[in-house]
Chains A and B, each alone.
Chain A
Amino acid sequence: MSFKWLTQAREKRGAKIIHIDPRFTRTSAKADIYARLRPGTDIAFMGGMFNYILQNNLYNKDYVMNYTNAAVVVVPEYKFEDGLFSGYDPAKRKYSNDSWKYQKDASEKTVTDPTLQNPLCVLNIMKKHYSRYDVDTVCKVTGMAKEDFLNIAKTYAATAAKDKSGVIMYAMGCTQHTVGSQNVRCDAMMQLLLGNVGVPGGGVAAMRGESNVQGSTDYALLFHLIPGYLNCPKTIPGNASLAAYNETETVKTSYWVNKPKFLVSYLKAMWGPKATAENEFAYQYLPKYDATKNYSFMALFEALAKGVIKGMFAFGQNPVVGGPNTNVEAKALENLEWLVAVDLFETETSVFWKRPDVDPKTINTEVFFLPACGSYEKQGSISTSGRMAQWRWKAVEPLGKSEADLEIIHQLAVKLKAAYAKSTKPEDAPIRDLFWNYGTDPHECDIDKVAKEINGYDTNTGKQVASFGKLMDDGSTCSGNWIYSGSYPEEGKNLLQRRDNKDTKGNIGIYANWSWAWPVNRRIIYNRASADPMGNPWSKDKAVIWWVTKDSVTGEPFIDPATSKPMPGKWVGYDVPDFKPTVAPDAVDGVFTGNRPFIMRADGLGGLFANMNEGPLPEHYEPWDTPLAKNPFSSKLLNPVVKVWRKEQQGTPDKYPIVATTYRVCEHWQAGIMTRNTPWLAELFPTMFIEIGEDLASEKGIKNSDKVIVDSARGSIECYAMVTKRFKAYEIDGKAVHVIGMPWHYGYQGIAKGAIANYLTPHIGDGNTMIPEYKAFLVDVRRGG
Chain B
Amino acid sequence: MAELAKYIDVTKCTGCRGCQVACKQWNGLPAVHTEFSGSYENPPKMGGDTWTKVRFFETEDNGKVRFLFRKAQCMHCTEASCAAVCAAGAITKDDKGMVVLDQNKCVGCKNCVLACPFGAVGFSAETGTSGKCRMCVDRIDNGMEPACVTTCPPGAVQIGEREEILKLAKGRVDFLKSNGVNAQIYGENELGGLHVIYVLDDKPEVYGLPVNPQAATANLFGSWVSALVGAGVLLVAPFWLIFKDSGKDVSETPDTGVSKNA
Contacts and interface: CB of A to CB of B under 8 A. Distances in A.
Interface string A600-643: 00000000000000000000000000000000000000000000
Contact of A683 (B31, B40, B65): B31
Interface stretch (A1-9, A311-319, A378-386): A1-9
Contact of B20 (A7, A24, A684): A684
Interface in B28-61: 30-40, 42-43, 58-60
Contacts of B40: 685
B15 A26 contact: yes
Report, nearest first, the 6 A-B pairs whose CB atoms are least far apart: A679-B31, A704-B257, A29-B67, A705-B38, A720-B36, A7-B154
A28 interface: yes
B30 A679 contact: yes
Contact of B38 (A24, A679, A704): A704
Contacts of B39: 722
A687 interface: yes
B14 A27 contact: yes
Given A7-B12, A29-B67, A726-B65, A680 B25 contact: yes
A724 B65 CA distance: 10
Nearest to A724: B58
Contacts of B258: 704-705
A24 B65 contact: yes
19 contacts: A4-B155, A7-B154, A25-B67, A29-B69, A666-B16, A667-B17, A679-B30, A680-B24, A682-B31, A684-B17, A686-B33, A686-B36, A687-B35, A689-B36, A704-B257, A705-B36, A722-B257, A723-B257, A724-B58
Contacts of B255: 725
A104 interface: no
B139 interface: no
Nearest to A719: B36
Given A27-B14, A666-B16, A722-B38, 20 more contacts: A3-B153, A4-B155, A7-B155, A24-B67, A26-B69, A29-B14, A29-B15, A30-B14, A679-B31, A680-B20, A682-B31, A684-B17, A685-B42, A686-B34, A704-B257, A705-B37, A705-B257, A720-B36, A723-B38, A725-B60
Contacts of B15: 26, 29
Interface of B: 12, 14-17, 20-21, 24-25, 30-40, 42-43, 58-60, 65-69, 153-155, 255, 257-260
Contacts of B257: 704-705, 722-724
Contact of B58 (A3, A720, A726): A726
B65 A725 contact: yes
Nearest to A29: B67
A42 B90 CA distance: 59
B170 to A, nearest CB: 16
A681 interface: yes
A683 B32 contact: yes
B76 to A, nearest CB: 24
Contacts of A685: 40, 42
A363 to B, nearest CB: 32
Nearest to B42: A684
Contact of A680 (B16, B21, B69): B21
Contact of B14 (A3, A679, A684, A686): A3
A686 B42 contact: yes
B16 A26 contact: yes
A267 B198 CA distance: 61
Contacts of A726: 58, 65, 67
A54 to B, nearest CB: 31
A751 to B, nearest CB: 8
B201 to A, nearest CB: 11
Contacts of B12: 7, 30
Indicate the member of B25, B255, B257 with the most A CB atoms within 10 Å: B257
Interface string A7-43: 1000000000000000011111110000000000000
A659 B32 CA distance: 34
A730 to B, nearest CB: 14
A723 B255 CA distance: 10
